[in-house]
């Protein structure tokens, strides 16, 4: 499964082009299409490819490159003075990424110029620096080596400097950031049978096309052809960098065979520990996670916030979404004091919010949480699954927008309060002598904030509606005003019957009998 392996679980393909290049771009055009090339062309290829048997990518990466560790692989860098389009006064440039480590599959990468002509990029070892690595020239020039992925650079934070704003590297994984952010969670083009007993399949972008921007372009368009044993697909990504970076995704999928789980708009992240589930060992860093909760907005069920966990054993469950408005893996909390990590800067890692742009129908958002003992493993996967099975021979259309943001509150419903923080604690009572003593319960302390709570006096008829599942009981719940946050603090105390089984806990704020907050839902892991 994807979450049980390092976050860069990726694949390989043989390079196709000669190394007689100029700045990574072949002199002369690839005879693909002399005219404009676009999404319909990629969709046609995907449909035709689905009628053929699957051909696995060739994997002949030399051991010197395959056996690199992460720090060694990171030494291989594209020379920034060779960035594609850097001499054209273009607002976007491209940097290529070398094969190595588990990035052992090259993609066929192309450019579409402003006349609509398609040109192919080719791997050139002279475009890279290799740091202190002692990689022989024979290895660098090995037959079959190609481009593993690419970075998109843009003047995101400084008008005089192009910073990396998005990256595509391996399988169908990609990441993007907004202004002042650093990479955190990943998006994927598609997830196939993630968490299934049959084993997960990793579709890959085998060929991609990037439309050359003009000097006035405010966005960049990327087309991609997806391939796997079970499905092919055509994708169009439109990247709009900014304080919040937007990525609009258009996709058409063609099944080669029936798929048990076809995960749409999947997100992959990491949760090790945090206030929701404190570390079992003493550490000066109070939280380590790329995301700390799953947020779902459904037209029928409203807003639901589910804090993440790092369970002792695999946890998988689905939230029904008859009419999905949006979902995302969120990083709520961007105060450095909440993390204290000057290297990883978890406080700068963005949330990713997915909004459908066409009709998806009834389905569910699945959350998969996988045990991990370190932060190098992506152990959180979420995706949307349709209720109705997909038929082979019928094209599937899923279009959506992904928002990468660290200002989550401005995208929430202003009429509802949200959970700013979830903290887990022992339950306790304060005796008459002011001594705190445990009361045998497990307590969750929730801080609700938001404009909808402003102006509510301490004498208002505000209450908490809480409930627990069959594996426990609700000992008590209460709500008090929190003057420090201009919000309200909720205490939910529970007792679990069987520690070897999870316990579901829910809570929401009510004012005069009307819900005024999102629903907080936590699944207390077994043995956790």
4, part of any domain: yes
pLDDT above 70: percentage of residues in the chain:
93
Take residue 488 and report the two structure tokens written for it: 């309200």
Measure the CA–CA gap between 270 and 347, rounded to whole angstroms: 14
- Determine the structural domain holding residue 341 and report its residue range: 269-372
CATH number of the domain bearing residue 44:
2.70.98.10
Measure the CA–CA gap between 132 and 76, rounded to whole angstroms: 9
CA separation, residue 95 to residues 84, 104, 167, 251, 498 (Å): 7, 18, 9, 25, 53
Q: Are residues 237 and 301 in the same domain?
A: no
pLDDT at residue 435 in the model? 85
Integer-rounded Cα Rg, in Å, for the chain is 25
First to last CA, the chain: 22
Between 459 and 320, whose confidence is greater? 320
pLDDT at residue 487 in the model? 95
The answer to whether the beta carbons of residues 91 and 217 sit under 8 Å apart is yes
| Residue 242 buriedness (CB in 10 A; 0-12 / 13-18 / 19+) | middle
Measure the CA–CA gap between 196 and 194, rounded to whole angstroms: 6
Q: Which helix (H) or strand (E) holds 183?
A: none
Q: Are residues 437 and 510 in the same domain?
A: yes
135, part of any domain: yes
pLDDT at residue 12 in the model? 26
391, part of any domain: no
Q: Are residues 333 and 461 in the same domain?
A: no
- Is the pLDDT at 10 greater than 70? The verdict is no
Question: At which residue do the structure tokens 């090339």 appear?
Answer: 37
Q: What is the mean pLDDT of residues 108-134?
A: 94
Q: What is the mean pLDDT of residues 236-262?
A: 97
Q: Are residues 343 and 466 in the same domain?
A: no
CA separation, residue 83 to residues 87, 153, 159, 216 (Å): 8, 9, 17, 18
Which candidate, 178, 205, 207, places its Cα nearest to that of 331?
A: 178
Q: Are residues 309 and 423 in the same domain?
A: no
Which candidate, 210, 218, 214, places its Cα nearest to that of 90?
A: 214
- Is the pLDDT at 7 greater than 90? The verdict is no
- Is the pLDDT at 132 greater than 70? The verdict is yes
Domain boundary among 339, 372, 405: 372
Domain boundary among 372, 401, 427: 372
Q: Are residues 144 and 21 in the same domain?
A: yes
CATH number of the domain bearing residue 474:
2.60.40.10
| Pair type for strands 245-255 and 231-240 | antiparallel
Between 459 and 211, whose confidence is greater? 211
Confidence label for 470 from pLDDT (cuts 50, 70 and 90): very high
Q: Are residues 285 and 237 in the same domain?
A: no
Measure the CA–CA gap between 111 and 117, rounded to whole angstroms: 8
pLDDT above 90: percentage of residues in the chain:
84
DSSP per residue, 18-83: -S-EETTEESS--TT-SS---HHHHHHHHHHHHTS---PPP----HHHHT--HHHHTT-EE-GGG-
The answer to whether the beta carbons of residues 449 and 417 sit under 8 Å apart is yes
Q: Are residues 441 and 484 in the same domain?
A: yes
- Is the pLDDT at 22 greater than 50? The verdict is no
CA dihedral 136, 105, 71, 164 (to 10 degrees): 110
pLDDT at residue 63 in the model? 93
Which candidate, 234, 150, 170, 207, places its Cα nearest to that of 17?
A: 207
Take residue 353 and report the two structure tokens written for it: 């919010």
What phi and psi, each to the nearest 5 degrees, are found at residue 410?
-75, -10
The answer to whether the beta carbons of residues 154 and 181 sit under 8 Å apart is no
What's the half-sphere exposure (Cβ side, CA atoms, 13 Å) at 45? Answer: 18
Take residue 125 and report the two structure tokens written for it: 């070892």
Measure the CA–CA gap between 442 and 307, rounded to whole angstroms: 16
Confidence label for 5 from pLDDT (cuts 50, 70 and 90): very low
- Is the pLDDT at 19 greater than 60? The verdict is no
312, part of any domain: yes
Which candidate, 458, 441, 456, 446, places its Cα nearest to that of 494?
A: 441
Q: Are residues 214 and 331 in the same domain?
A: no
Which candidate, 222, 255, 213, places its Cα nearest to that of 49?
A: 255
pLDDT digits (tens, 9 = 90+) for 338-395: 999 999 999 999 999 999 999 999 999 999 999 999 999 999 999 999 999 999 989 9
Q: What is the mean pLDDT of residues 3-26?
A: 33
Take residue 263 and report the two structure tokens written for it: 């995960």
263, part of any domain: no
Q: Are residues 274 and 243 in the same domain?
A: no
Q: Are residues 243 and 297 in the same domain?
A: no
474, part of any domain: yes
- Is the pLDDT at 34 greater than 80? The verdict is no
Measure the CA–CA gap between 271 and 370, rounded to whole angstroms: 9
Domain boundary among 372, 405, 432: 372
Q: Report the 10 Å Cβ neighbour count for 162.
A: 22
Q: Are residues 221 and 288 in the same domain?
A: no
- Is the pLDDT at 16 greater than 60? The verdict is no
- Is the pLDDT at 277 greater than 70? The verdict is yes
CA dihedral 422, 333, 365, 252 (to 10 degrees): 180
What's the half-sphere exposure (Cβ side, CA atoms, 13 Å) at 345? Answer: 10
413, part of any domain: no
Structural domains in the chain (count): 3
């Amino acid at each position: 499964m994807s979450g049980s392996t390092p976050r860069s679980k990726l694949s390989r393909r043989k390079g196709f082009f000669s190394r007689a290049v100029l700045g990574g771009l072949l002199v002369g055009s690839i005879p693909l299409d002399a005219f404009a090339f676009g999404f319909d062309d990629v969709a046609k290829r995907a449909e035709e490819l689905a009628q053929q048997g699957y051909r696995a990518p060739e994997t002949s990466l030399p051991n010197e490159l395959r056996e690199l560790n992460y720090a060694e692989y990171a030494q291989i860098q594209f020379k920034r003075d060779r960035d594609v389009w850097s001499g054209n006064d273009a607002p976007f440039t491209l940097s290529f990424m070398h094969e190595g480590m588990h990035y052992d599959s090259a993609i066929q990468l192309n450019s579409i110029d402003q006349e609509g002509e398609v040109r192919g990029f080719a791997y050139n070892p002279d475009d890279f620096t290799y740091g202190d690595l002692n990689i022989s020239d024979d290895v660098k020039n090995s037959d079959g080596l190609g481009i593993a992925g690419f970075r998109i650079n843009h003047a995101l934070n400084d008008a005089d400097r192009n910073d990396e704003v998005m990256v595509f590297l391996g399988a169908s994984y990609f990441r993007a950031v907004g202004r002042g952010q650093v990479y955190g969670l990943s998006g994927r083009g598609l997830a196939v049978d993630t968490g299934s007993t049959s084993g997960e399949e990793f579709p890959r972008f085998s060929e991609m096309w990037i439309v050359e921007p003009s000097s006035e372009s405010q966005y960049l368009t990327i087309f991609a052809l997806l391939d796997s044993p079970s499905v092919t697909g055509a994708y169009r990504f439109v990247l709009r960098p900014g304080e919040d970076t937007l990525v609009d995704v258009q996709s058409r999928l063609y099944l080669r065979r029936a798929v048990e789980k076809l995960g749409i708009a999947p997100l992959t992240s990491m949760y090790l520990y945090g206030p929701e589930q404190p570390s079992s060992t003493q550490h000066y860093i109070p939280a380590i996670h790329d995301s700390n909760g799953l947020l779902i907005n459904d037209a029928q069920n409203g807003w639901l916030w589910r804090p993440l966990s790092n369970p002792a054993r695999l946890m998988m469950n689905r939230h029904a979404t008859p009419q999905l408005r949006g979902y995302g893996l969120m990083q709520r909390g961007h105060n450095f004091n909440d993390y204290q990590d000057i290297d990883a800067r978890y406080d700068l890692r963005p949330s990713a919010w997915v909004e459908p742009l066409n009709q998806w129908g009834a389905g569910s958002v699945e959350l998969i949480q996988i045990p991990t003992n370190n932060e190098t493993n992506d152990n959180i996967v979420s995706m949307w699954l349709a209720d109705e099975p997909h038929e082979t021979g019928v094209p599937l259309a899923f279009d959506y927008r992904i928002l990468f943001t660290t200002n989550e509150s401005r995208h929430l419903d202003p009429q509802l309060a949200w959970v700013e923080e979830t903290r887990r604690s022992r339950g306790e009572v304060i005796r008459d002598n002011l001594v705190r003593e445990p009361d045998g319960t497990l307590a969750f302390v929730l801080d609700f904030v938001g404009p909808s709570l402003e102006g509510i006096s301490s004498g208002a008829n505000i209450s908490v509606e809480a409930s627990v599942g069959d594996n426990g009981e609700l000992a008590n719940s209460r709500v008090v005003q929190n003057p420090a946050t201009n919000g309200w603090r909720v205490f939910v105390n529970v007792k679990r019957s069987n520690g070897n089984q999870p316990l579901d806990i829910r809570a929401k704020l009510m004012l005069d009998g009307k819900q005024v907050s999102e629903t907080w839902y936590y699944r207390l892991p077994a043995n956790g």
